[in-house]
A and B are shown apart, each in its own frame.
Chain A
Amino acid sequence: MSTIKEFLSADHSKCDGIFANMEEKAGESLLSARELCEEFKSQTEKHFQMEERVMFLEFENKTGMTQGPTAMMRQEHTQMRALMSQMLEAIDADNKDKFFGLSETLMILLQQHNMKEEQMLYPMAQQHLAADSDRIVSMMESLIVE
């Protein structure tokens, strides 16, 4: 079974792929990208919840750090959720400029967020949670999005 870092990093790449497809489709016609935008939103939401409801909690329980990096990551998740909702609104309004403005903003926010997680938080989590890694990955895989 993959480690926490491998599992979540691979999920980042998966979301990146959907994001790229969504932008490509939006370049052709904004309305036709709605389905992919929703798919991206739901996949990203699942990723956020895998972190917030499983990995972050385990990490916080183990390290006692509840107001540290995980709090910051949660805050950035909130920022990204707002941007994703605004992107869907831009699609509904058929406003291409707004959509691509939001997607560019989201992309950079998302990537710098992913970098911080992959470079710092995941290795740290893997280090502290190595013994429970399989269990945590399994819980994240089986998570049902709320």
Chain B
Amino acid sequence: MELTGLSTEQAPPITAPVRFFVTAPLFGILAGLLIFFTDAPTLMNRYSIESIIITHALTIGFLSFIMLGSMTQMLPVLAGAKMPKVELVTKYSYILMVVGVISMLLGLYTSNRLLNIIAFIGLGSGFLTMLIATALSLKTVSNFNATVKGISTSIVFAFFVVLMGLYLLYSYISDDIDSTHMIVANIHSVWAVFGFAVILIIGVAFQVLPMFYVAPKFKAFCKKRVVWLISIGLVIWMFLSAFYEEYTLAGKLWIAVFVWAFATTVWLKLSRRRRPISDVTVWYWRSASVFLTLGSFLWIFDEYFKHEYIVMVAILIGGFILSIVIGMLYKIVPFLVWFHLNGMGYMSIPTINEMINKRVAQIQFILFIASLIGFIFSFYMQNLLQVSAISFIISMVLLEYNVISPVLIYMKTKKTKPDFDMSMFEAPKE
């Protein structure tokens, strides 16, 4: 058991996750701008290059950055595991991933082989370094609870998702896009969404919901079986979609049922929480639950309509993941700033609520939800797309504001040293 994870001195430096958190909304803004300048029919085709670029600005630039950044903080707290050489690993992975994702977006858009090669190297080495470092830290955990199992399973899926992603990128580099490319692309996207993101969120939710909201604990069946059941469903679905495409519905049903059950459970747990406070993070969990429920059902429904609604499914399930991730950012960033400053001996620092502008957070939430609803309805009213894109861009700007504000407080406090006082931590006199 890695008890050193409990020590402040050995806890990851605040820069490890924060560099990812501060950058992520910028990719959200970029994705919004790309949506704004793209027409609706192009975006309705999941295989159009514009759709692929926008999807990856969000999935890599926004979601992966936040999820992997959070991992550096979550591992010591949830699992008692410390990432080896965390500052070095996160600094270089971050640089590689930023260069990689920007090169990929530009490379795919301009069909530039050199940029795609840089993206291949940057994303491959950046992602694999983070994933291997996480896996190594998880190896030291002896108390393998439901949350650790969820995180570990999601890392396994992430590993395959990255390898498949690299194969797909290599297809663009070698200009060899055949039928296998489409099959791999399909598995890559479904495993990324359900295998990595959804399973990671489920694992973390087992701890976070009861802890932060004093909600009822998840049932033993849920904690012990759901991650495995979804994982088995994903493997079955993969074989069916690769070899027996006409039966993929069975695999989809299997996954969707358990995912929907989780979404419903989250809603019920929140309704029965003992902590009455209803802040923007609770709204995000609620909206996530609705998006996941609708997305799961539409994924099944879509099977009967020749995948006509698959982009709508992506918006809904993407909405679920984005909602959770943004909601958690509002908890994690101000807490990290407070925790690190307080641990250094600064006593009269703002509280968590004072670091985030609540009104801005509420407006950000409304604009974000409005943009997702707008994106869905732009299938029928194409004029809505640009308005929704503007709403999404503003919501991401506001999110960036709320992420940067606590970080600026941290920097200012460290610089001005207003009330440095370690007396509180001195040993009592005998």
Interface presence of B342 (CB below 8 A): yes
A100 touches B277 (CB 8 A): yes
A4 to B7, CA, bound (A): 22
Residues on B with beta carbons closer than 8 Å to the beta carbon of A124: 1, 3
- Scoring A71, A82, A112, A121 by chain B CB atoms within 10 A of each residue's CB, the highest score goes to A112
Q: Chain B binding site: helix, strand, loop or mixed by DSSP?
A: helix
Q: Considering only CB atoms and an 8 Å cut-off, how many residues of chain A contact the other chain? A: 38
Interface presence of B338 (CB below 8 A): yes
Interface presence of B335 (CB below 8 A): yes
B276 touches A108 (CB 8 A): no
Interface presence of B275 (CB below 8 A): yes
Interface presence of A98 (CB below 8 A): yes
Q: Which residue of A lies closest to B142 (CB)?
A: A123
Residues on B with beta carbons closer than 8 Å to the beta carbon of A68: 3-4, 6-7
Interface presence of B79 (CB below 8 A): yes
Nearest CB in chain A: distance from B4 CB, A:
8
A104 to B356, CA, bound (A): 12
Cβ 8 A contact of A115, one of B1, B4, B211, B342: B211
Nearest CB in chain A: distance from B354 CB, A:
5
Contact residues of A between 89 and 119, Cβ < 8 Å to B: 97-98, 100-102, 104-105, 107-109, 111-112, 114-116, 119
Interface presence of B5 (CB below 8 A): yes
Residues on A with beta carbons closer than 8 Å to the beta carbon of B275: 19-20, 23, 107
Given contacts A119-B78, A119-B143, contact A108 B274 (CB under 8 A): no
Contact residues of B between 137 and 170, Cβ < 8 Å to A: 142-143, 145
A85 to B352, CA, bound (A): 17
B354 touches A101 (CB 8 A): yes
Interface presence of B212 (CB below 8 A): yes
Given contacts A20-B214, A20-B276, contact A116 B352 (CB under 8 A): no
Contact residues of B between 345 and 362, Cβ < 8 Å to A: 347, 350-354
Interface presence of B239 (CB below 8 A): no
Interface presence of A2 (CB below 8 A): no
B3 touches A104 (CB 8 A): no
Interface presence of A51 (CB below 8 A): no
B277 touches A78 (CB 8 A): no
A20 touches B78 (CB 8 A): no
Cβ 8 A contact of A16, one of B5, B274, B339: B274
Contact residues of B between 1 and 36, Cβ < 8 Å to A: 1-8
Cβ 8 A contact of B8, one of A21, A72, A105, A121: A72
Residues on B with beta carbons closer than 8 Å to the beta carbon of A69: 3, 6-7
Residues on A with beta carbons closer than 8 Å to the beta carbon of B2: 120
Cβ 8 A contact of B347, one of A82, A98, A101, A115: A82
Cβ 8 A contact of B80, one of A17, A109, A114, A119: A119
Q: Which residue of B lies closest to A107 (CB)?
A: B212
B352 touches A111 (CB 8 A): no
A27 touches B276 (CB 8 A): yes
A123 to B6, CA, bound (A): 14
Interface presence of A132 (CB below 8 A): no
A108 to B2, CA, bound (A): 22
Interface presence of A84 (CB below 8 A): no
A75 touches B8 (CB 8 A): yes
Residues on B with beta carbons closer than 8 Å to the beta carbon of A21: 274
Given contacts A72-B6, A115-B207, A121-B6, contact A78 B425 (CB under 8 A): yes
Interface presence of B331 (CB below 8 A): yes
A107 to B212, CA, bound (A): 7
A115 touches B335 (CB 8 A): no
Residues on A with beta carbons closer than 8 Å to the beta carbon of B273: 20
In the complex, 9 of the A-B residue pairs with CB atoms within 8 angstroms, ordered by the A residue number, are A20-B273, A68-B6, A82-B347, A82-B424, A107-B212, A109-B338, A111-B212, A119-B80, A121-B3
Chain B residues close to A by CB (< 8 Å): 1-8, 76-80, 142-143, 145, 207, 211-212, 214, 273-277, 279, 331, 335, 338-339, 342-343, 347, 350-354, 424-425
Chain A residues close to B by CB (< 8 Å): 16-17, 19-21, 23-24, 27, 65, 68-69, 71-73, 75, 78-79, 82, 97-98, 100-102, 104-105, 107-109, 111-112, 114-116, 119-121, 123-124
| 12 other A-B residue contacts (CB within 8 Å) besides A27-B277, A68-B4, A78-B425 | A23-B277, A68-B7, A69-B7, A75-B425, A78-B424, A79-B424, A97-B354, A101-B352, A108-B335, A109-B338, A115-B211, A119-B80
